[in-house]
Amino acid sequence: MAGGAREVLTLQLGHFAGFVGAHWWNQQDAALGRATDAKEPPGELCPDVLYRTGRTLHGQETYTPRLILMDLKGSLSSLKEEGGLYKDKQLDAAIAWQGKLTTHKEELYPKNPYLQDFLSAEGVLCSDGVWRVKSIPNDKGPPPLTTSTTPTPLIPTEGSIRVWSDFLRVHLHPRSICMIQKYNHDGEAGRLEAFGQGEGVLKEPKYQEELEDRLHFYVEECDYLQGFQILCDLHDGFSGVGAKAAEMLQDEYSGRGIITWGLLPGPYHRGEARRNIYRLLNTAFGLVHLTAHSSLVCPLSLDGSLGLRPGPPVNFPYLHYDATLPFHCSAILATALDTFTAPYRLCSSPVSMVQLADMLSFCGKKVVTAGATIPFPLAPGQSLPDSLMQLGGATPWTPLSACGDLSGTRCFAQSVVLRGIDRACHTSQLTPGTPPPSSLHACTTGEEVLAQYLQQQQPRVMSSSHLLLTPCRVVPPYPHLFSSCSPLGMVPDGSLKGAAVESIPVFGALCSSSSLHRALEALAGDLTKLDLRRWASFMDAGVEHDDVAELLQELRSLAQCYQDGD
């Protein structure tokens, strides 16, 4: 690929993973739109890492995510399984039968009003009735379409969002969507509820071969594949699908990085014992099996706990979100994910997926926690040293891995990314002769400021840090979560309610933390208390009693890796 990009193939497994993925790809698409603006400086993040070029049957060049997603029957709403880029060959094929025909047509889902203006990946329909082709970044495709007016973007309401495809603004390749037709998304019957069911899906030749074919299609066109990132639901049967998929990748693509993001929607369903117990079992089985086959595993959730004692949803000082809405929770997690993954998507001096995993997972610590400050608080007129000093000695980010309170825990290694801070704010602009109020104010570069801050916070921790100018894009259909931010995400002294926030600075970290010792031990403790005879339906899905005993042993062994002082 152009520029020697180190490609990544994304696997999106499950419906909540679809929500996170839809926001994630919308944010990538918004960033691509900025990259075609001649006024914008060259991007720091290489889109070729996540995207691939192609050509439609009409010869139009396309730029689509390098993506395989799996979901259940009924989860696509109005989105076609083959996507919208290519003509449907089956419908256009000549019919040889000359006799009487009876057509049975399934009723179409109404398209979300927000997507009515989303007509073609090739471009937009102009007033003269001609399709104008959109430009593709990095000199791919014709020049950008110029228009005299920019239409006001439509903003979806929470009530209009049923499934993730209701707000996906990105066209997908026909090889991206893989539907599991034997299980239903809606209704109480035929659900993919248990880990064993999910494992069983990819043991069936039909689905195994379909996944392998799609993997080969994407992998064989890569010049330098650095690895795979898996977005996988942990709370339902997709934990088993993810575990089996990771095992397939490890077997067939040995030496490539496999970074798995285990996704948990919040909160627990009070009074619904069956759903909560299944969530507990699926999360435990998923974490242990994914850890065995991945380079790195990171649970992501806005919930307060992995176990049966749900804590309150995490709090962000400058965000107002509804923890019961997947549309809100997934937007926040996608923003964090877009920041955590930046090191292996950089244009210059990137850290490969394997290098990132090796740095964080030494001594068997293959599970990491995540945290982020969304948005990073930088008031007008402040410098980065000013803002970091205001954070004080407390952990600067909100925990995103459902491992409880981080106070008193130890970090063994961390990868930190701070993005979206203007270069003019990187260092303190003190009047000559003024003594610096802190050692951070004496630093001469932003990178030095960030490194010094991390050294002060965690003196004996192995840290990798990146300071990027590129902010995180949060244009519609990203929900309105910001109540006290300027359009550029800076936190002002007074409230600017109603201001349309377009991009925000984000401070994020992946950390190998002793908090995992407590979280994994608590998870094992909750499992020990279960009477498995009451949950025979979970066991009947393909899990033996010996598997549960082995699971408990592996959970506790994994927890021991994170004991403070190890």
Distances (CA, A) of 244 to 122, 185, 233, 313, 501: 36, 20, 13, 30, 40
Q: What are phi and psi of 367, to 5 degrees?
A: -105, 135
Contact 354, 552 (CB under 8 A): no
Only one residue has tokens 């929607």, namely: 265
Give CA–CA dist 305/12, Å, rounded. 23
What is the Cα–Cα distance from 559 to 485, expressed in whole angstroms? 40
Interatomic CA distance for residues 544 and 101, integer angstroms: 50
Q: What are phi and psi of 55, to 5 degrees?
A: -145, 135
DSSP state at residue 241: H
For residue 306 the two structure tokens come to 């992995």
- DSSP-derived letter for residue 97 is -
Q: Cα separation of 354 and 256, whole Å?
A: 7
The pLDDT tens digits for 327-360 are 999 999 999 999 999 999 999 888 999 999 999 9
CB contact at 8 A, 45 and 137: no
Within its chain, how far is the Cα of 304 from the centroid?
Answer: 19
**Alpha-carbon 106 to chain mean position:** 33
Measuring CA to CA, how many Å separate 295 from each of 401, 411, 466, 505?
18, 19, 21, 28
- DSSP-derived secondary structure letter, 564: T
**pLDDT by position in tens, the chain (length 566):** 344 689 999 999 999 999 999 999 999 999 987 655 544 556 899 999 999 999 887 788 999 999 999 999 888 877 888 766 665 444 334 444 556 656 555 555 566 665 655 544 334 434 433 333 444 554 444 333 333 344 455 667 777 899 999 999 999 999 999 999 999 888 777 889 999 999 999 999 999 999 999 999 999 999 999 999 999 999 999 999 999 999 999 999 999 999 999 999 976 666 678 888 999 999 999 999 999 999 999 999 999 888 887 778 999 988 999 999 999 999 999 999 999 999 999 998 889 999 999 999 878 889 999 999 999 998 888 999 999 998 877 778 999 999 887 777 889 999 999 999 999 999 998 888 888 899 999 999 999 999 999 999 888 899 999 999 999 999 999 998 987 676 666 666 544 444 578 999 999 999 999 999 999 999 999 999 998 888 888 888 888 889 999 999 999 999 999 987 54
pLDDT tens string 250-289: 999 999 999 999 999 976 666 678 888 999 999 999 999 9
SS3 176: coil
Residue 298 belongs to what H/E stretch?
A: strand 296-301
The tokens for 407 are 């106070």
Residue 36, pLDDT score:
52
CA distance 415 to 151: 40
For residues 228-249, one letter each, b for 16 or more C-beta atoms within 10 angstroms of the residue's C-beta and e for the rest, the string is bbbbbbbbbbbbbbbbbbbbbb
Question: What domains does the chain contain, in order, with CATH numbers?
Answer: 7-81+162-369 (3.40.50.1440), 370-515 (no CATH), 518-561 (no CATH)
* C-alpha separations of 15 from 19, 25, 303, 463 in Å: 7, 15, 18, 34
The H or E element containing residue 240 is helix 238-252
Q: CB under 8 Å to 103, separation ≥6 — which residues?
A: none
**Which residues 6+ apart lie within 8 Å of 315 measured at CB?**
398
Question: Distance between CA 38 and CA 42 in Å, rounded?
Answer: 9
Instruction: Tell me how far CA of residue 325 lies from CA of 13, 73, 85, in angstroms.
Output: 19, 22, 30
Structure token digits, residue 428: 């303190």
